[in-house]
Structure 1
Amino acid sequence: MKGLVGKKVGMTRIFTEDGVSIPVTVIEIENNRVTRLKLQKLTVIMQFRLLPVAK
């Protein structure tokens, strides 16, 4: 898989343990399943791996 097509659903916030608010974009990507999440605390980047789901 070289790319994804998603639809922007909206914006929200995530709060860190010390109360810092981080703005995030919510994106809908249909027919996929998240198989791994990784959060890098220093850069506040969330990485995820998707697995295509057959219809």
Structure 2
Amino acid sequence: MKMLEISIEKKRKKMLALAEQYGLSAHKTIQVSKELDQLIIIYQELFSKNLIS
């Protein structure tokens, strides 16, 4: 699951950079935020099934 955690962190950094450059309500920022949400949901589902700790 380390790869998923790395992906989440990379996506989070990308979202923050976009928010800083274009603003929180910019389409680009929102799109990456949604992608980050999906990664976090996957992580939470795996965690709740005790597949990761």
TM-score (norm 2): 0.23
Higher strand share: 1
TM-score with structure 1 setting the length? 0.22
Higher relative contact order (CA 8 A, sep 6+): 2
Higher fraction of helix: 2
